[in-house]
Chains A and B, each alone.
Chain A
C-alpha cells in the first residue's frame, strides 16, 4: 500500500519534501507505527487527505494504484479512535475477501502501538468464530458486504448503531449494482450522523451512484487524473491467433522465468485449467478464484506472497487492492472487460514507485476491446519484444497441447 515516497519525489519535489507525518498533525503513537512500517514520509494522497479527514469532512479519494490509499484512510480513523475510543468505531468495506484481510493487517500494524482491536468479517470463513470476534467488541471491522449483512441479521446482540466512520475501499466496485442490496441494508442500520470516505483508483462519475453512499458535503481529492496508470509501469501487448494462446503463455512464462508473475483470466474455469496445464509443464503455478474454498484461496495467496510459488493464475478477485510488492509482471491472458479492470489488474505491479511491466494478450477477437482500453488510458502500447524468439514460440506447441489434454482430463 503505502510505501510511496518515490512517487512523490517525481511530482512537485520541493514543496512535498518538508511534509512529514508529524507535520500533518498525526499523533506520535501512529507516527511511531509508521516508522516501524518503514513509511518515511506521507505519499501524495496521504498528505492531501489526512488533514482534511482530521477536520472531520467526508472524503472521496482518488489515487493511482499502489499509492498508499489504505494508510490514507486508516491513519485518520485511528487517530480519531485514540481521541474517543469506543467499540464499533469504524467499518471498512472491501469488495473482495483477500483485500479485506490485507486491510485488516494494515490496520493492526498501524494501530499496534495503541492496541486497536480489529475484526475481519468476510465470507467463506466460520460464522461462529466471527460472531465471537464481534462479541469482543472490536474498534474496527473490516468486512465484505455480504457477510456483514449476514451478521447484522443473524448474530443477536451485534449492531452498528454507534458507528462513527464508514469507509468504502474500491468504492466504485462496491457501489456497482452487484453489491447494491447489501450496501443498502448496511446504510439503513448505521447512523446518519457519521463520516464516510470513498477511496479507489478509478471512480465513477455517476452522481446517483455516489448519492447512495450518502456523503455529506464531501471533499474530492484527486491525486492523479482519472483512469491513469503509473509511469513506472511498462505496458505491452502481444498479438497472435486465438488457437495459439496457451502456447504463447507457456513461452512467455518461460522467457520470464524467475520473475514473479500474475496471470489474469476472465473465468474461474480457465484459471483452473491453465494452472493444471502449467503444472504439467513444470511451472510452479497456483490459482486463485471465487470457486475455491476460502482456506484454499488464502493458502494460494500466501504461497504466492511468500515466494514459494512464482506464478499466480487469478480471476478478477485478485485484480483490486492486493499489495504484493514482489510482483514483476502482470499478464492479461484475456483482455479485461473494462478499462477500469485493466487499470486495477496492471496496478498489481509497479507499486509504490517500483517498476513493473504488463503484457496483454490480444487475439483476432479482442482487437476492438483492446483499442477501447488504449483510448481510455490515453496510451498507445507497444508490442512485447520477443526478439528472435518469435519463430520459436510454436516449437512449444506439441508439449503444450499434451499438457492441455492432460489438464482437460481432470
Chain B
C-alpha cells in the first residue's frame, strides 16, 4: 500500500499528501518510517478507494484527523481524475472536429459540476478540512484564502473561555462554531478558488443548515438544489454533532440529491453520463459516513439513502461501557419499560415515568429534594414539563433554549433547595456542559446518546454534607429499542442481559 501510483492517486497530489500525512504517521512510531499511511488509514483507504459505501463509528475521537486526511485525499483525487478525463475528451473532440471526422459517443459528465459534497456541523471542522485541501491540492495559487480565514476563524480578540470544560467539549467548540455555512471550491489547472459559484465548483463543503437555507421548502419561490444532482462522493463527518443539530435538515438535503435539475445550467447534454439521464445517479454515488457512535437514525440513513452498487461496509466498535468511568459509589437502578412497538414506546415510557417513577420519588422525603431529571429528547422534555406544570411540581427547566440569566437562577435555586426538581435536556448538556451542583438523585428518562455524559453526570452527584455517598441514587429508564445507547453505557457484555432477561425488568448496579 505504499505506492500511490498503484492506488491511482494523481501525480499532482502525491507529494503534497505524503508531506501532509507525515504528522499522523510519525505519531504512531517515533522513528521515521517509509510508511505513507497509518494502519487505520491503510485499512480504511482500501475500501474508500474502491468506492464502497462506508459507515465508520469509533468513539475514540483522536483518530478524527487521520480519517479526514484520507477522505480529503480521496475527494481531491476523485475531482482530479474526473477533471483530467473531461479535459482529455474535450481535446479529443476538438481534434476530431478539426479533422472533420465523426465524434464518438463520449459521456463523462453529470448534469452539474459539483461532484463532492462534504457535510460538517461547524465552521471549525470545515476549516480543518479545507486547510487539509489547501495543503494537499498542489495548487500554485489559492484565491479567496484570506476571506476563508476571515469567515471561518474567530477574530483573535474573541475566544471562548473553556478552561473548566472537558476535553471533548473543547474539541467540538473551539474556534468558530457557527453552524450555517456553505463554500464552493473550484479547481483549475494551477489554482484553487474558494467561494466559487456552486455551478462552477467541484467540491462543496457545507453544513446541513447552510444547504437547507438555499434548498428551501416546497412552495417557496426561490429554491435551488440542482447543484446536488450530480454528486458522486458524499462525505458526512461528525454525525454525533450533526445529531445534536437539526437532523431533519440533513434528511432534507439528502432528499434533494440526485434529482433531475430544473434548469440546464449550460450543460453539454451530449456528454451527460447515461445513468444521470435515467435518474440512476444515487446508485453510483459513494457515501462515507463518520461518527463517534451509531444511532437508529444513522442506521436508517445508511440503509435508506446509501444505494451504491459497489456495496457498503459498516464498521463499529464494541463498547465497554462508560459505567466503568463512574468513580463515586452510587446505586444505579435500571428499569426496562415494557413496550410493544416503537410507536407505543414514547407513551409507555411516559406512563411508566409518571405512574411508577415520579410517585416513588414524591413519597420519599430524601428523594424528593435535589432531584435532576435528564431527558434526551426535547419533545419528551416538553411533555414532562407540561405534566409537572399541571400538577404543581416545584421545578426549574434547563433546555438548549433557556436564557443565561434563567440558567443561573435555576442552578442557584436548585443548589439551595428552593426548588425540588430540575428538568434538563441532553442538548442543554451538550451545548453548555455546566456542572449542576447539588444533585443527589438523578433520573434518566432516557439514556444520553453521548455515553460520556452518563459518567459525567454521575460523577457530578454530590451527597448531602456530612454523610457518606450512599445517599445518592440514579434511576434509568430504557426500552428494548435503546439497545445501542444502552450498550455504550453498560458495555456490550451486559447489554444482552438487560435487554433480553425474562426474569426481571429491574436491574441494580452499585
Contacts and interface: CB of A to CB of B under 8 A. Distances in A.
Between A131, A135, A137, A158, the greatest number of chain B beta carbons within 10 A of the residue's beta carbon is seen for A135
Interface size class, chain B: 10 to 19
B150 to A, nearest CB: 37
Interface in B252-291: 260-264, 266-272, 274, 277
A128 B277 contact: no
Interface string A131-175: 110111100000000000000001111100000000000000000
B268 A136 contact: no
Contacts of A157: 267-271
Between B261, B262, B270, B277, the greatest number of chain A beta carbons within 10 A of the residue's beta carbon is seen for B270
B267 A156 contact: yes
Nearest to A151: B269
A129 B266 CA distance: 15
B98 interface: no
Contacts of A127: 264
B264 A136 contact: no
Nearest to B271: A157
A128 B229 CA distance: 13
Contacts of A129: 260
Contacts of B262: 128
A121 to B, nearest CB: 13
Main SS of the interface on chain B? loop
Interface in B201-239: none
B267 A128 contact: no
B271 A136 contact: no
Contact of B266 (A134, A135, A136, A156): A156
Nearest to A134: B269
A128 B268 contact: no
B105 interface: yes
Contacts of A136: 274, 277
A134 B272 CA distance: 11
Contacts of A134: 269
Contacts of B269: 131-132, 134-135, 155-158
Nearest to A127: B264
A132 B111 CA distance: 10
Main SS of the interface on chain A? helix
A196 B269 CA distance: 27
A128 B268 CA distance: 13
A128 B260 contact: yes
Given A128-B262, A132-B260, A132-B277, A137 B105 contact: yes
A109 to B, nearest CB: 23
A135 B109 CA distance: 12
Contacts of B261: 128
Contacts, number: 37
A155 B261 CA distance: 13
Contacts of A154: 264
Between A127, A155, A157, A158, the greatest number of chain B beta carbons within 10 A of the residue's beta carbon is seen for A157
B450 to A, nearest CB: 44
A149 to B, nearest CB: 15
Contacts of B105: 137
Interface size class, chain A: 10 to 19
A148 to B, nearest CB: 14
Interface in A107-138: 127-129, 131-132, 134-137
Contacts of B272: 132, 135
A40 B369 CA distance: 96
A158 B264 contact: no
A151 to B, nearest CB: 9
A134 B105 CA distance: 13
A128 B270 contact: no
Contacts of B268: 156-157
Nearest to B261: A128
Nearest to A158: B269
Nearest to A87: B105
A320 B269 CA distance: 33
Nearest to B279: A132
A154 B105 CA distance: 20
A129 B277 CA distance: 9
Contacts of A135: 269-270, 272, 277
B125 to A, nearest CB: 36
A352 to B, nearest CB: 38
A137 B103 CA distance: 13
A211 to B, nearest CB: 29
Nearest to A86: B102
Contacts of A131: 264, 269
Contacts of A132: 260, 269, 272, 277
A134 B274 CA distance: 12
Contacts of A156: 264, 266-269
B277 A155 contact: no
B94 to A, nearest CB: 14
A191 to B, nearest CB: 13
Interface string A358-383: 00000000000000000000000000
Interface in A254-311: none
Contact of A128 (B264, B266, B271): B264
A316 B213 CA distance: 48
B217 to A, nearest CB: 21
A377 B261 CA distance: 52
A131 B262 CA distance: 11
A182 B272 CA distance: 27
Contacts of A128: 260-264
Nearest to A132: B277
Nearest to B267: A156
A110 B267 CA distance: 33
Contacts of B263: 128
Nearest to B277: A132
A77 B492 CA distance: 71
A127 B269 CA distance: 12
A291 B379 CA distance: 51
Contacts of A158: 269-270
A369 B261 CA distance: 51
A127 B263 CA distance: 8
A128 B272 CA distance: 13
Nearest to B265: A156
Contacts of B270: 135, 137, 157-158
A135 B260 CA distance: 13
Nearest to A159: B270
B86 to A, nearest CB: 13
A137 B271 CA distance: 11
A158 B266 CA distance: 12
A274 B277 CA distance: 43
A134 to B, nearest CB: 6
A152 to B, nearest CB: 12
A212 B158 CA distance: 75
A156 B277 CA distance: 15
Contacts of B277: 132, 135-136
A127 B105 CA distance: 22
A198 B164 CA distance: 87
A349 to B, nearest CB: 41
Nearest to B260: A128
Contacts of B266: 156
Interface in B414-439: none
Contacts of A137: 105, 270
Contacts of B267: 156-157
A123 to B, nearest CB: 17
A36 to B, nearest CB: 28
A154 B272 CA distance: 16
Given A131-B269, A135-B272, A136-B277, A155 B264 contact: yes
5 contacts: A132-B260, A135-B270, A135-B272, A137-B270, A156-B266
Interface of B: 105, 260-264, 266-272, 274, 277
Given A128-B263, A156-B267, 13 more contacts: A128-B262, A129-B260, A132-B269, A134-B269, A135-B270, A136-B274, A136-B277, A137-B105, A156-B269, A157-B267, A157-B270, A157-B271, A158-B269
Those 8 A-B pairs whose CB atoms lie nearest each other, nearest first: A157-B270, A157-B268, A135-B269, A157-B269, A156-B268, A132-B277, A135-B272, A131-B269
